[in-house]
Structure 1
Amino acid sequence: MSLTIRLTTILSLLLFFLPSAGRALKDDNKSHVKATILAEVRSIQAGYPFWVGIKFEMDEGWHTYWKNPGDSGGPIRIQWELPTGFEAGPLQWPYPKKIETPPLVTYGYENETMLLAKISPAQNIPKSDLYQIKAHVRWIECAEACKPGSSSLLLSLKKGGGTPQIHKDHSSLISTYKAKIPLSTSDWSFAATDRGDYISLMLSQDSHNKNSIGTFDFFPNKPGIYQLHNHRSIGIGKNRSKLVIDKVEGSTIPYENLEGILVSDIGWRGPGSEKALQINIPIHKGPGVWSASFLWIALLFAFIGGILLNFMPCVLPVISIKILALTRKGRSSSHENHRHGLLYGAGIMGTFWALLGILLLLRAGGEHVGWGFQLQSPIFVALMASFFFLFGLNLFGVFEIGTGLLRAEEILKSKRKNISEDMTSFFSGILATIVATPCTAPFMGTALGFALVQPIAIAFLVFTFLALGMAIPYYALTLYPAFLNRLPKPGPWMTTLKQVMAFLMWATVAWLLWVLSLQIGSEPLVPILVAFLVLLLSVWIWGKYARPLYSSFLRYGAMIVSFLLGLFGFYWIISTIQGSNPIGAPSLISSQQRDHQIQWKPYQPNEVEKSIDQNHPVFINFTAAWCLTCKVNEKIVFSNEKVISKFREMKIDAFKADWTNKNDIITKALQKYGRSGVPVYVIYDPNDPLNPRLLPEVLTPRIVLDALEAITVKYSS
């Protein structure tokens, strides 16, 4: 809409509430809307209600507005002035049309319309030969420009004997517009679900009823909640339809029900019947749409999920080394153990807060990120792999800087030993949190999904409970060291266990390099592996010569050479990745198109919607190559013959949303289901497509089979 139209609309709205100014404008400008009042009766009788209409006739190209005018304009206002003993019922509005003047959309009337009201005379109205009904009407009329209009209308009716005398012409015209007043009931059933960015409205009717409503649109009663355009009407067979209603982004207007009218191009009771239907439907919260009462559940889920993180394969090696260190210090004072437990927890807490801060900053900048987002960066994956490589070498005894981030006993002199150990405990918490990001423990996904759509204070509260849950098991051991009595006394077995843990670290390196190959291809892995050899040489020199038994010159020279080689190795890794070309999301589909495996389709929202609209059962697998929980589920569950057979038997439309690399479409889809990380598993039952079912993060074949067997409705292929 042009600037002229916008300015005149604003001016008109101001004048609309200033009658004197409106009259002055009316005197100077010809009105393009003519208003008249008419009744369906010629005479009235006490106790007999009758209909009165205010008819509006608009010049070509001009229009007035509905009760919700849309993006501009203002509704028609009618103030009644009635004889004593008369009452006017609610104003009845015929359904409007959508008037689009991009980028604005308004709801209104063109050419002609009529607003109706039922007038009810009391049984004891005063005796009179003539009864006068007055209506003071104001409106906004628009074409290329807008201006206010007004009129004071007078209707005189005489009192008749017996039943009121009908005015045939007026009654016929009023009946025409009464048919345009929205129905209050129909044979259709409705269910509305809040999907976060939009409202999904599902319509259904009994199978014996074969009436089709064709295409239809929604006109909300109130402005500011829903977008006024791009409502998507989707037919799902003869007896079901769906309408997608986008919400206004950032709107703070509260709503509990979907209020407005639905307008069909055929009619709600068959062809030629009433085209409008009034609805007032409770809106159910879909997955990912939370209420404030969910906070306590989210905090509990976060705490439990944090505890379970300690037992995930990402974190278990780190926590095991910490427990070994605690066993070795069994004779230390309880005060010292408590301090280390608190510092370990502080490292976890600080890292969780830092991760949340980064997440919120990136989201505020328009980025679509979630839990584990840093693993979508090839540089971060490579640096993590190199760190775990060095960590394994440290555990294996190739070099000693204490025990890396977990021990620092020999770095400083004895008088500063406590400071060294305190720093080690703090950084151990940081390390444990960083290596936890590829994992999503049970209960954790729900809590994270809730946190990342809440105000900052609540998000920090949820992440705090998650950190407390992760820190509490180790701190409990520092409070109650009697639990450690079940372990063997310190001895050579501890060195052997450390070396076993080193192999677990190197297994993690192999996995991270595989993830890296899916992100940047296999060719850059060769120079990266050479850089790993440089890092190995660096720490070997440190471990061999940076020891007190050598001269200061040799010892410090070895440290400098080792440091420079290490810097060169890391530089080589980063420059190699920066010089590579990301290959996008790895193709996990082509290798799985064999009969004995689930035939996953690449995730595309429109294809998922199409399958749902066709009444197909749908299974969506949100996964990533760097997600350990995802890979375990794929190996144990989605490679299970019974699960594969069930997918084939039920003709499940299976979609795989691979989040290995950054993908805004998948991130938005995760947010739609109330999640911020992977894995996420979603099932759509064709009998209840408005309520997708989310499965737990950790799956078993029985869980998936039970969920699929719950889908009993047959669909047409």
Structure 2
Amino acid sequence: MMTVVRLMALALLLACGLAQPASAQVQAQAPAQAQLRNPATLAVEGPVLPGETVEVAIAFAPREGWHGYWFNPGDAGKGMELRWDLPPGWRAGEPRYPVPETLFAFGFMNHVYKSPYAVLVPLTVPADAAEGPTLIGVRAEYLACSDSLCVRETAELIGNVVVGADGRRDPRFARWEAKIPPRIDATARVEREGETLRIAIPLPQTQALGRPHVFIAEDGLVQYGEQQAFYRGEDRLVAVLAAKGDANPSSLSGVLRFGNSGRGIAFTAERGPVGLGSTTPLEASNAPSIGWLFLAAFVGGIVLNILPCVFPILSLKALHLARAGESESAARRDALAYTGGVMIAVLGLGVLLLALRAGGEQVGWAFQLQQPGIVLALLVLVTAITANLAGVFELPTLAGRRQASGSFATGLLAAFIATPCTGPFMAAALGAALILPTQYALGLFAALGLGFALPFLLLGFVPALRSRLPRPGGWMAHFRRWMALPMGVTALAVLWLAVRIGGWPFAAIGLAIALVVIAMLMGAGRRQRGGRPVGGGMIAGGLAVVLALAVVAPRWIDEVEADAGVLDPADFSEATLAQAKATGRPVFLWFTADWCLTCKVNEKVAIEREATRDAFADAGVIAIRGDWTRSNPAITRYLESKGVAGIPLYVWIDRDGEEQVLPQVLGPDSLIDLAGASPKTPARGTPQ
């Protein structure tokens, strides 16, 4: 039922002549979508197996000047009502809405959508459903408003659900799903204090907020039009909202919006103490400012140079260092070329990441190494570089000569391979880049690239540093060939990654491609040493074979299960994490990938150890691992909820459900100490 305030608001609209006449309302209820101010369509995600759940979308396209409403419309308006026409045994779940906008008009605060949006509804298919297309229908009743009119609209929608394995997924669902706010797994707290409701939302200190706003799902609890105040503390955000009447809820739910980015998080709060101690008002708090985020990205880029992520391009960086001992002009030229390569790669990756996310893809900072096709291309590239460093053939851009193009290519490759793993300081900056306006996001990517290139810029422009390097000489030719060894190890590592990302048949095709490339380059090298031009026919034939193998490679991609490891962790999912927390036992949650060397070093040093396993067993710790080697939307959403864009990420959850984000570089006893300090509690179950 509408609240008194909402009834008064609608009465005011009618009294002012702002509501549509009754005859026009009847016309708007007609099924013809062309007559609607906010026309709706029904879409089905794709085929579904009996007993499983499929998403259906009710997609709206408000006409210019019109808007629709969130399920809690605010002071005025009306939420959507759905009446489903489903076969026996089929069941529709609760609708999921994107993050709404605020609209303040005539003294009323409304929660609206002015641009096209989609409401997603899970549809559960019974286990005995017959295979084949099944007709479903829904009657959607909702309100569409402009600045001068409000119209009750009705859309009669029908669609086909294909039960069975045949069919393709509707690509629009990735875009719609990306607009749904991820629900944080930690429980917020709500408390009545005087005439206000205080809500403490668990949120990392690193999460950029912009100008936040809280939308409460339940009606009648807060005064929507009153100003909201925010206080920032360590890993929590306290929202202070004007309470309505004597509202003192035992629980509530809502959405926290981050500025005007269209992004946010969903939360559930239970009644509990919410103090403002150790917090400061958001305007004067120590929340990350734009300046701090730029500094964090810059410093994170510098630190990245000493992390294990850089090992794959160690050979090229070492050659660049060796060349820096040449003439001052050559050193400056190479330093600028290297920096240019780094900047173009980082900005290019950043632009592509933002474009993919704007298109609805659930991707993070590591997206370039999660694609099997890119892994194959990288295998070809590092194989060619290894052959070049070993002297198999000559390619001026990577042969260690003075040409600036070699330094530029080194910068490109270094940034492409090394940046997917986030290091200290980087996580906060890259997490903010996903929700800030585009110009700020690109600025953060540029700061990261500049920090990554800084050591070589200093070598090129500070003679005192360059004078400490050995002077160039004949030793560089031998040094270059020795550097083929770590690059060869990198080629083997990429081949192993092909196994992990696509299975052995896929990796075998990758190996065949690498062997064809080596044979082609060896032939080119022989012709070069004989003073003859490289044969175009030979290269064309080799490339044709490589292209043919690359075309068939996707057909051989298999799902690869992660190794059990010493801890034998459960695989991450939102349900698994919720079940683990419900046991009342400590939980260690970590996110890793086979292409993240920093992750693998941490696992070797601190996680996958017998001492850690024994400490976890004594304390009853549940281990959960999120493997992000391949793109995983659930993991991406969880990373976003923690304000980060990449891995590694380590989270410790104590028996009370309090979460602690651990450093990205773990010590040998980091986890053992946490387990030892955890009070022992009786288990209430174990996640499956």
Once the two structures are superposed, what CA deviation does each residue of 1:357-388 show, in whole Å capped at 9, x if it has no partner?
00110000000111111111101011111211
Aligned partner of 1:571 in structure 2 is 547
Tell me if 1:622 matches 2:591: yes
Answer whether contact 2:309 2:418 (CA < 8 A) is retained.
yes
* CA distance in 2: counterparts of 1:190 and 1:713, whole angstroms: 30
Counterpart of 1:432 (choices 411, 414, 433) is 414
Question: Which residue does the alignment assign to 1:450?
Answer: 432
Report the alpha carbon displacement of residue 320 of structure 1 after superposing the two structures with TM. 5.2
1:605 equivalent in alignment to 2:607: no
Residues 639/611 of structure 1: CA separation in 2 closer, same or farther (3 Å cut): closer
Same amino acid, percent of matched pairs: 30
Query: Distance in 2 between the 1:697 and 1:369 partners?
Result: 20
Secondary structure of the corresponding residue to residue 289 of structure 2 = helix
State which structure, 1 or 2, has the greater radius of gyration over its C-alpha atoms. Answer: 1
CA distance in 1, matches of 2:9, 2:613: 63
In structure 2, give the amino acid aligned to 1:392: T
- Secondary structure of the corresponding residue to residue 376 of structure 2: helix
Q: What is the match of residue 693 of structure 1?
A: 660
- Residue 301 of structure 2 contacts residue 451 of structure 2 at CA under 8 Å; is this kept in 1? yes
Q: What residue identity is the alignment partner of 1:394?
A: N
- 1:284 to partner: Cα distance: 8.0
- 2:202 paired residue among 190, 193, 202: 193
Pick one of 331, 337, 340 that aligns with 1:343: 337
Counterpart in the other structure of 1:633 = 602
Asked whether the equivalents of residues 310 and 319 of structure 1 are also in contact (C-alpha less than 8 Å), the reply is no
Q: Supply the distance in 1 between the matched residues of 2:497 and 2:640 (Cα, whole angstroms).
A: 24
1:536 and 2:497 correspond: no
AA at the equivalent of 2:574: P
Structure 2 counterparts to residues 309-328 of structure 1, below 5 A:
309-316=304-311, 318=313, 321-325=316-320, 327-328=322-323
Matches within 5 A, 1:467-506: 467-506=449-488
Deviation at 1:519, TM superposition (A): 2.1
Cα pair 1:600 1:656 within 8 Å, conserved: yes
Contact 1:539 / 1:562 at 8 angstroms: preserved in 2?
no
What does residue 222 of structure 2 align with? 221
Shift of 1:572: 3.6
1:546 is paired with a residue whose SS is helix
User: Aligned in 2, Cα 1:243/1:73: closer, same or farther, shift over 3 Å?
Assistant: closer
**Contact map agreement 1:192 1:284 (CA 8 A) in 2:** no
Q: CA deviation at 1:578?
A: 2.2
1:707 — aligned with what?
674
Say if 2:394 is the partner of 1:400.
yes
Report the Cα distance in structure 2 between the residues aligned to 1:541 and 1:144, rounded to whole angstroms: 70
CA-CA distance at 1:191 after TM superposition = 4.0
1:611 CA drift (Å):
2.4
Match of 1:247 in 2: 255
1: distance between equivalents of 2:142 and 2:314? 71
Deviation at 1:407, TM superposition (A): 4.0
Q: Alignment partner of 1:637: what SS?
A: helix
Q: 1:72 to 1:483 in 2, by over 3 A?
A: closer
8 Å Cα contact 1:371/1:676 also seen in 2: yes
**Distance apart, 1:324 and its partner CA:** 3.6
CA contact (8 A) 2:320 2:407 kept: no
- 2:379–2:491 contact (8 Å) kept in structure 1: yes
Alpha-carbon distance in 2 for matches of 1:480, 1:261 = 56
Question: Judging changes above 3 Å, is the alpha-carbon distance between structure 1 residues 70 and 318 closer, same or farther for their aligned structure 2 residues?
Answer: closer
Distance in 2 of aligned mates of 1:219 and 1:499 = 74
Cα 1:261–1:314, aligned 2, differ >3 Å: closer, same or farther?
closer
Equivalent residue, structure 1, for 2:623: 654
Q: Which amino acid aligns with 1:674?
A: G
1:340 & 1:426 partners in 2: Cα distance?
8
**3-state SS in 1 of match to 2:505:** coil
Which residue pairs with 1:507 in the alignment?
489
Structure 1: unaligned runs, 5 residues or longer: 2-7, 23-67, 76-97, 106-142, 146-181, 202-215, 226-240, 263-267, 269-276, 410-420
After superposition, what is the alpha-carbon deviation per residue over 1:450-504, rounded to whole angstroms, capped at 9, x for unaligned? 2222221221121111111111101111122443444444445433432332121
Q: What is the identity, as a one-letter code, of the residue corresponding to 1:296?
A: G
How much does 1:248 deviate?
7.2
Match for residue 365 of structure 2 among 371, 379, 395: 371
Asked if the contact 2:571–2:626 (Cα under 8 Å) also holds between the matched residues in 1, the reply is yes
Is 2:258–2:435's contact at 8 Å kept on the other side of the alignment? no
Deviation at 1:665, TM superposition (A): 0.8
Closer/same/farther in 2, CA of residues 697 and 643 from structure 1, 3 Å limit? same
Give the deviation of 1:617 after TM superposition: 1.1
Instruction: Give the deviation of 1:538 after TM superposition.
Output: 0.7
Cα deviation digits, residues 330-372 of structure 1 (max 9, x gap): 452x233212211211111121111110011000000011111
Contact 2:313–2:487, Cα closer than 8 Å, also in 1: no
Task: Supply the distance in 2 between the matched residues of 1:533 and 1:526 (Cα, whole angstroms).
Answer: 11
How far off its partner does 1:261 sit?
12
Amino acid at match of 2:630: N
Q: Partner residue of 2:561? A: 587
Label 1:544 to 1:458 Cα distance change in 2 as closer, same or farther (>3 A).
same
- Cα separation, 2, equivalents of 1:189 and 1:248: 14
CA distance in 2, matches of 1:481, 1:598: 51
Residues 159-174 of structure 1 aligned to structure 2 (within 5 Å): none
Cα 1:199–1:644 change in 2 (3 A) is farther
User: Normalized against structure 1, the TM-score is what?
Assistant: 0.60
SS of match in other structure, 2:483? helix
Deviation at 1:219, TM superposition (A): 4.4
- Among 287, 291, 296, the residue aligned to 1:301: 296
- Give the letter for the 1:401 counterpart: L
Do 2:198 and 2:274's aligned partners in 1 also have CA atoms closer than 8 Å? Answer: no
Q: Return the letter of the residue paired with 2:578.
A: E
Which residue does 1:89 correspond to in 2? none
Structure 2: distance between partners of 1:440 and 1:70: 38
Q: Distance in 2 between matches of 1:652 and 1:242?
A: 30
Q: Structure 2: 5+ residue runs without aligned partners? A: 2-6, 22-69, 84-93, 96-140, 144-190, 227-248
Deviation at 1:426, TM superposition (A): 2.0
Structure 1 contact 192–199 (Cα < 8 Å) conserved: no
In 1: Cα distance, 2:450 partner to 2:334 partner: 15
Say whether 1:362 aligns with 2:356: yes
Checking the alignment, whether the CA contact within 8 Å between 1:191 and 1:283 is kept in structure 2 is no
CA distance in 2, matches of 1:581, 1:618: 33
Equivalences for 1:17-166 in 2 at 5 Å?
A: 70-71=72-73, 74=76, 101-102=81-82
SS at match of 1:441: coil
2:613 aligned partner: 644
Q: How many residues align?
A: 495
